[in-house]
Amino acid sequence: MFATIKRLYHQFGSPRYFYDMTGKMLPWLIAGAVLLIIPGIVWGLAFAPPDYLQGNSYRIMYIHVPAASLAMGAYVMMAVAGVVVLVWRMKMAEMVARSIAPIGASFAFLCLITGAIWGKPTWGTWWVWDARLTSMLILLFLYIGVMALNMAIENAQSAARATAVLSIVGAVNIPIIKYSVEWWNTLHQPASISMTSSSMATEMLIPLLLCIFGFYFLFAVLLIMATRCEILQREQRSNWVRQLVENN
């Protein structure tokens, strides 16, 4: 088992192999995303029963929860890619890490916007300093910090290494920030308002799971498309890219 992971690791380390392989995988991933998200959303919007407490506004959950888990997962993935960049100095990892940041940031932003919109009918205000929303806001700032540093450094390699250090430091701080924000939130707002009703009926839960898996497929698709651009950008001098560009 370990040998195959090692082999895959080295194979996917070469930009050309990564480009070709992901090109083949892309259609399947897109199909997976569509086949999961469309049914999940339609089921969640149209067929899931209204919540006895919140009526229909809870249906925003089918976008909000996947976005939240993706924003968090993407940051951790960026930190792991950062470790690979710093320890094994793999160029491919640099390109993947660089492409994750904007996607993760958009999902963090999406999570905040949908959370705020969901909050309006539920709590009567657009923004509530709820522990999870506040942690997500700080996560978005962390993303912005990583992207700002990435743009500030011209040399692609030192940019990748600098952002790797920053995303690792950020990843170490995420649990600390989460814990302190939750402590701060309970201090100032004892009545903790839960976003969703306590026990979720299965008709509500299954579409949510479909959406979450679907969003992870979607994330894979977006990441692969962005990383392939990064490969063309950084490998444009190599002749495999030149042939690729010339014959189509």
Partner 1 sequence: MSELLLHVKGLSCERDDRMLIRDLAFDLHGGEILQIEGPNGSGKTTLIRILCGLSDDYEGELHWRGQPRHRNDDRFRQEHLYFGHLTGIKTSLSPRENLRWILQLKGVGERGPALDTAIETALEKVGLASYEDVPVYALSAGQKRRVALARLQVEPALLWVLDEPFTAIDRKGVAELEALIQQHASRGGSVLLTTHHALDIPGLRKLQLGLGGGQWALN
Partner 2 sequence: MGTELNPAAVNPAVVKPPSMAQGFNAMLRRDLVVAFRQRSDLVNPLFFFIMVIALFPLGIGPEPSTLQKIAPGVIWIAALLSTLLSVDSLFRQDFDDGSLELALLSPQPLFVLVLGKIIAHWLVTALPLILVSPVLGVMLYMDADTIQATLCSLLLGTPVLSMISAIGAALTVGLRKGGVLVAIIALPLYVPVLIFGTGAVEAASMSMAFGGQLAILGAFLILALAFAPFAIAAGLRISLNG
Partner 3 sequence: MAFDNFAEFLAMGKHGAYVWAAYGISLLVIAANILAPILRQRALRIDIQRKIKREKLES
Closest CB to partner 1 among residues 34, 156 = 156
Closest CB to partner 1 among residues 35, 156 = 156
Tell me how far, at minimum, the Cβ of 163 lies from partner 1, in Å.
17
CA contacts within 13 A on the Cβ side of 56:
4
Contact flag: residue 152 with partner 2 (CB under 8 A): yes
- Residue 125, Ramachandran bin (φ over 0: left; ψ between -120 and 50: alpha; else beta): beta
Out of 29, 60, 97, 208, the only residue in the binding site for partner 3 (CB under 8 A) is 60
Binding-site string for partner 1 from residue 155 to residue 174, where x marks contact by CB under 8 A and - marks none: x-x-----------------
For residue 87, report the phi and psi dihedrals to the nearest 5 degrees.
-85, -50
Please say whether the beta carbons of 122 and 194 come within 8 A: no
Contact flag: residue 205 with partner 2 (CB under 8 A): no
| Segment interacting with partner 3, rule: CB under 8 A, options 132-140, 147-155, 162-170, 225-233 | 225-233
Contact flag: residue 103 with partner 3 (CB under 8 A): yes
Closest CB to partner 1 among residues 11, 236 = 236
Out of 161, 214, 215, 231, the only residue in the binding site for partner 2 (CB under 8 A) is 161
Binding-site string for partner 1 from residue 12 to residue 31, where x marks contact by CB under 8 A and - marks none: --------------------
Binding footprint of partner 1, residue count (CB under 8 A):
3
Cα 71 to Cα 77: distance, rounded to the nearest angstrom: 10
Cα 68 to Cα 99: distance, rounded to the nearest angstrom: 18
Please say whether the beta carbons of 47 and 203 come within 8 A: yes
Contact flag: residue 65 with partner 2 (CB under 8 A): no
Out of 158, 189, 236, 238, the only residue in the binding site for partner 2 (CB under 8 A) is 158
Contact flag: residue 168 with partner 2 (CB under 8 A): yes
The angle subtended at Cα 82 by Cα 137 and Cα 4, nearest 5°, is 125
For residue 51, report the phi and psi dihedrals to the nearest 5 degrees.
-75, 135
Q: Which does 117 bind (CB under 5 to 8 A by kind): partner 2, partner 3, partner 1, none?
A: partner 3
SS3 (DSSP) at 10 = helix
Binding footprint of partner 2, residue count (CB under 8 A):
29
In Å, the largest CA–CA distance within the chain is 65
Contact flag: residue 218 with partner 3 (CB under 8 A): yes
CA contacts within 13 A on the Cβ side of 132:
19
Percent of the chain as helix, strand, coil, to the nearest 5: 80, 0, 15
Closest CB to partner 1 among residues 92, 133 = 92
Of 220, 79, 74, the residue nearest 163 (C-alpha): 79
Q: Please give the residue ranges that form the binding site for partner 1 (CB under 8 A).
A: 155, 157, 237
